[in-house]
Chains A and B, each alone.
Chain A
Amino acid sequence: DAGVTQSPTHLIKTRGQQVTLRCSPKSGHDTVSWYQQALGQGPQFIFQYYEEEERQRGNFPDRFSGHQFPNYSSELNVNALLLGDSALYLCASSSKGLLFGGIYNEQFFGPGTRLTVL
């Protein structure tokens, strides 16, 4: 049973460029959340996708956008990269069905993509 996978592992970009990060959720999960983690800090929620729509969004500018595909995989896109976008980007999957069934939400994280903006 594969866990959450993310690609690429590492990425180096320059200011102003655009980047796309990818995530495949854990088998049986239908909800994908994206987080940004700066060095030495806790992850910050970017947004969440369920049924191919953005359902929740954190305090991130419109330069951050995403997409979820019918197979539940997801992409995170960041446009006009800034130096401050350098971080570890984490994808977490969960099951919305479990939440609606009254079972508490548990999210499982992938290994992350380390983005460096020069």
Chain B
Amino acid sequence: TQLLEQSPQFLSIQEGENLTVYCNSSSVFSSLQWYRQEPGEGPVLLVTVVTGGEVKKLKRLTFQFGDARKDSSLHITAAQPGDTGLYLCAGDGGATNKLIFGTGTLLAVQP
């Protein structure tokens, strides 16, 4: 069974601080996606990483896929209150075309 563990589970920080969210598994994924979800809404895709060691940047967000394609990280620089939400990583096993979601990281950025 493929599982994705995210850490930390909860994070409350002040505006302007930096943070990193981790997504770890013992399984290999063909790709890994990061989503942000706000209360009462569906997850919104932020980025997809495909190649081991790949780094992608989206404004103040930096995503990295582990060399072995088993783990990923999301780093946010100078967090803003608008970054508040539930961050989810999701692994794609490839042939199954279904996503295995992580446990989620709930981020609150205080002004």
- Which residues from chain B contact A78 at a C-beta distance below 8 Å? none
Q: How far, in Å, is A34 (CB) from chain B's closest CB?
A: 10
* Bound: A61/B77 CA distance, A: 43
- Which residues from chain B contact A58 at a C-beta distance below 8 Å? 98
Cβ B97 vs Cβ A31 within 8 A: yes
Number of A residues contacting the other chain (C-beta, 8 Å)?
A: 29
**Given known A-B contacts A56-B96, A58-B98, A99-B97, A106 and B43 have beta carbons under 8 A apart:** no
Cβ A42 vs Cβ B45 within 8 A: no
Number of B residues contacting the other chain (C-beta, 8 Å)?
A: 28
Mark each residue of chain B from 81 to 111: 1 if its CB lies under 8 Å from any CB of chain A, else 0. 0000000101010101111111110100000
* Bound: A1/B98 CA distance, A: 24
Cβ A112 vs Cβ B42 within 8 A: yes
Question: Which A residues from 2 to 47 make CB contacts under 8 A with B?
Answer: 4, 31, 33, 35, 40-45
What residues make up the interface of B, taking CB atoms closer than 8 Å to A? 4, 6, 30-31, 33, 35, 40-45, 48, 50, 88, 90, 92, 94, 96-104, 106
